[in-house]
């Protein structure tokens, strides 16, 4: 079983899976791990026959506390206001800052096959009064809340402190107000200029009712209240929130002690590290979701997240490496195994589920998807670099039948990724230029035994007719062994003969991408004894 099926097997009855996010700015591809994990859990629950609802919430009543994306004149006015009330920094394309950034993030969900049953916005929820019972409970039990903070997080709030963020009726800021003296109907509010370092309150003081959208709960309480309000049973969160005494511990304790409800099942997930650096939203570091998305299409991106257990950090370093082709290769290997074909190497536990949950369409015909013809990424990356190759025709010839519409569509997506990879990420050895005009100058360095190998390979190619990359690769090893030269020298000879340099991509695939007549002609020409050797022998 894979991790999602394991989790699904451990629960009973209808399930509500929830995630929520503060839309504070641009998001990076690592932020998609959570939504993919939630979607996969929901699919696994449904596959087990359980009723499952997937919710995605936007915590847009949180205060604006990062000024990086504000214009200088907006900083004093907007810092500390709810994100839902801050204007869209990109102009008038969305009703608010929150809608802009959450919108960009949510737009990527659909492309990844993530379809929450419901999106909720806290700025919509508070005015309906649905949060009022939780606000009342939190105020009535403020002493318990303070005690939880003290015990769980070692945070000591003064005795008059109330767990409430009032939206200042004068300046509209929520990050600058402090509430006290709950009398069952109203609280005393002070909007303090010096409460936080990142925003300046207006000084307003007075009493008001905290209900109907006039105030919000602090985040730990809001989170716990969401669990009660929506009946959440499963909510995985990032490892950063799962530290001892951290956000999840606080919210769990508040759920139990203040709202008297067991918190949802957690499945803390680790980060996606790109190029060894933690992908962090707040530090603005790492690859933006759309950048990685260009080179890892949706199914491979889902696969990247699904194949690793959530508690495992994913190290993904696409820069100048084969990390991208390796994701495709592993995807193809699990597809082949799912289709019942024999594959090399060990298979991960639950490999069929891993493949199934990587598919965009939750209702896809898995057997059909698994059986589709998929040319290897590395093979395509050579084919596109050989001038004059009709790649789709070539792929169909290798399949031995016309491509299905689904295969054609997948090939187009894969070719897009191949081109982006070659442009932006591929190591130098993956970029080739076939030396068409004649035996390249570099081939002068070929040693006599390497030339012998090339001539022998030309004869084999003539006889055994290798055509696929694997067959060529096998032929290279066989002929090298037969000729008594090591594989490294054999590959080196091929690179010199075709590329004029001592290294290159997998040679079998390189030869498979070229026309046979050109290959045999070049093997013979480069393998013929060098003039200089004839002169000295």
Dihedrals φ, ψ of 349, to 5°?
-60, 135
Helix (H, G, I), strand (E, B) or coil at 14: coil
Give the DSSP per-residue string, 508-533.
HHHHHTS-HHHHHHHHHHHHSPPHHH
Q: How large is the C-alpha radius of gyration of the chain?
A: 30
Q: How far is the CB of 94 from Zn ion (least distance, A)?
A: 3
Please give the distance of CA 36 from its chain centroid, rounded to a whole number.
Answer: 8
Site of interaction with Zn ion (CB under 5 A): 88, 90, 93-94, 100, 168, 170-171, 191, 201-202, 204
Q: How far is the CB of 431 from Zn ion (least distance, A)?
A: 38
Q: How far is Cα 477 from Cα 95, in angstroms, rounded to an integer?
A: 64
CB-nearer residue toward Zn ion: 94 or 333: 94
**What HEC string does 91-122 produce?**
CCCCCCHHHHHHHHHHHHHHHCCCCCCEEEEH
Q: How far is the CB of 189 from Zn ion (least distance, A)?
A: 9
CB-nearer residue toward Zn ion: 91 or 405: 91
CB-nearer residue toward Zn ion: 97 or 305: 97
CB-nearer residue toward Zn ion: 100 or 506: 100
Q: How far is Cα 479 from Cα 471, in angstroms, rounded to an integer?
A: 12
Q: How far is the CB of 217 from Zn ion (least distance, A)?
A: 19
Q: How far is the CB of 19 from Zn ion (least distance, A)?
A: 22
Dihedrals φ, ψ of 159, to 5°?
-60, -25
Q: How far is Cα 320 from Cα 340, in angstroms, rounded to an integer?
A: 34
Q: How far is the CB of 198 from Zn ion (least distance, A)?
A: 15
CB-nearer residue toward Zn ion: 30 or 201: 201
Q: How far is the CB of 271 from Zn ion (least distance, A)?
A: 27
CB-nearer residue toward Zn ion: 171 or 253: 171
Q: How far is Cα 521 from Cα 455, in angstroms, rounded to an integer?
A: 10
Helix (H, G, I), strand (E, B) or coil at 274: strand
CB-nearer residue toward Zn ion: 203 or 320: 203
Distances (CA, A) of 325 to 15, 68, 300, 319, 415: 37, 36, 10, 12, 12
CB-nearer residue toward Zn ion: 24 or 353: 24
CB-nearer residue toward Zn ion: 101 or 328: 101
Among the listed residues 395, 404, 485, 413, the one whose alpha carbon sits nearest the alpha carbon of residue 446: 485
Q: How far is Cα 256 from Cα 262, in angstroms, rounded to an integer?
A: 6
Q: How far is the CB of 93 from Zn ion (least distance, A)?
A: 3
Q: How far is the CB of 254 from Zn ion (least distance, A)?
A: 27
Please give the distance of CA 233 from its chain centroid, rounded to a whole number.
Answer: 24
Q: How far is Cα 301 from Cα 299, in angstroms, rounded to an integer?
A: 5
Dihedrals φ, ψ of 89, to 5°?
-70, -15
Give the DSSP per-residue string, 427-458.
-GGG------SSS-GGGGG--HHHHHHHHHHH
Q: How far is the CB of 199 from Zn ion (least distance, A)?
A: 10
DSSP state, residue 411:
H
Is residue 241 classed exposed, middle or buried when 0-12, 13-18 and 19+ CB atoms within 10 A define those classes?
middle
Residue 366 burial (CB count, 10 A): 18
Q: How far is the CB of 86 from Zn ion (least distance, A)?
A: 12
Q: How far is the CB of 60 from Zn ion (least distance, A)?
A: 13
CB-nearer residue toward Zn ion: 89 or 268: 89
CB-nearer residue toward Zn ion: 168 or 272: 168
CB-nearer residue toward Zn ion: 88 or 240: 88
Among the listed residues 385, 376, 493, the one whose alpha carbon sits nearest the alpha carbon of residue 436: 385
Q: How far is Cα 178 from Cα 201, in angstroms, rounded to an integer?
A: 10
CB-nearer residue toward Zn ion: 20 or 177: 177
Q: How far is the CB of 95 from Zn ion (least distance, A)?
A: 9
Q: How far is Cα 499 from Cα 434, in angstroms, rounded to an integer?
A: 5
């Amino acid at each position: 079983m894979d991790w999602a099926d394991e989790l699904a097997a451990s629960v009973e009855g209808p399930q509500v899976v929830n995630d929520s996010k503060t839309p504070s700015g641009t998001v990076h591809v690592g932020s998609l791990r959570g939504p993919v994990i939630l979607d996969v859990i929901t699919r696994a629950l449904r596959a087990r026959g359980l009723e499952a609802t997937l919710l995605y919430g936007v915590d847009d009543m949180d205060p604006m506390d990062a000024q990086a994306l504000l214009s200088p004149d907006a900083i004093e006015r907007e810092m500390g206001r709810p994100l839902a009330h801050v204007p869209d920094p990109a102009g008038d394309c969305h009703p608010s800052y929150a809608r802009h950034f959450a919108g960009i993030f949510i737009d990527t969900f659909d492309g990844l096959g993530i379809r929450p049953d419901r999106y909720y916005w806290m700025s919509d929820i508070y005015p309906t009064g649905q949060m009022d019972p939780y606000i009342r409970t939190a105020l009535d039990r403020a002493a318990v809340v303070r005690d939880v903070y003290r015990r769980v997080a070692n945070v000591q709030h003064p005795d008059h402190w109330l767990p409430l963020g009032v939206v200042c009726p004068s300046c509209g800021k929520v990050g600058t107000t402090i509430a006290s003296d709950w009398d069952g109907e109203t609280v005393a509010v002070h909007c303090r200029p010096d409460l936080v370092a990142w925003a300046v309150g207006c000084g307003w003081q007075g009493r008001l009712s905290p209900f109907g959208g006039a105030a919000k709960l602090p985040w730990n309480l809001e989170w716990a209240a969401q669990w009660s309000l929506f009946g959440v049973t499963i909510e995985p969160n990032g490892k950063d929130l799962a530290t001892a005494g951290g956000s999840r511990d606080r919210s769990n304790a508040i759920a139990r002690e203040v709202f008297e409800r067991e918190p949802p099942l957690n499945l803390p997930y680790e980060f996606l590290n790109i190029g060894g650096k933690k992908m962090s939203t707040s530090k603005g570091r790492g690859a933006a979701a759309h950048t990685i998305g260009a080179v890892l299409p949706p199914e491979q991106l889902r696969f990247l997240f699904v194949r690793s257990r959530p508690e495992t950090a994913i190290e993904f370093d696409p820069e100048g490496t084969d990390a991208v082709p390796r994701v495709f290769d592993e995807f193809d290997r699990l597809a082949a195994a799912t289709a019942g074909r024999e594959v090399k190497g060990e298979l991960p536990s639950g490999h069929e589920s891993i493949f199934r949950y990587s598919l965009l369409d939750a209702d896809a015909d898995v057997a059909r998807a698994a059986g589709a013809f998929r040319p290897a990424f590395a093979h395509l990356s050579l084919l596109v670099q050989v001038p004059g190759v009709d790649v789709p025709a070539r792929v169909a010839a290798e399949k031995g039948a016309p491509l299905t519409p689904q295969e054609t569509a997948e090939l187009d997506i894969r070719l897009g990724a191949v081109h982006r990879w070659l442009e932006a990420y591929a190591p130098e050895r993956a970029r080739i230029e076939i030396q068409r005009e004649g035996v390249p100058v570099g081939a002068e360095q070929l040693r006599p035994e390497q030339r012998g190998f090339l001539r022998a390979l030309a004869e084999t190619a003539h006889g055994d007719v290798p055509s696929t990359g694997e067959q060529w690769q096998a032929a290279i090893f066989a002929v090298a062994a037969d000729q008594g030269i090591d594989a490294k020298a054999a590959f080196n000879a091929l690179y010199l003969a075709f590329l004029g340099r001592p290294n290159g991509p997998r040679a079998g695939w390189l030869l498979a991408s070229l026309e046979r007549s050109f290959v045999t002609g070049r093997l013979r020409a480069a393998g013929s004894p060098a003039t200089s050797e004839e002169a000295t022998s």
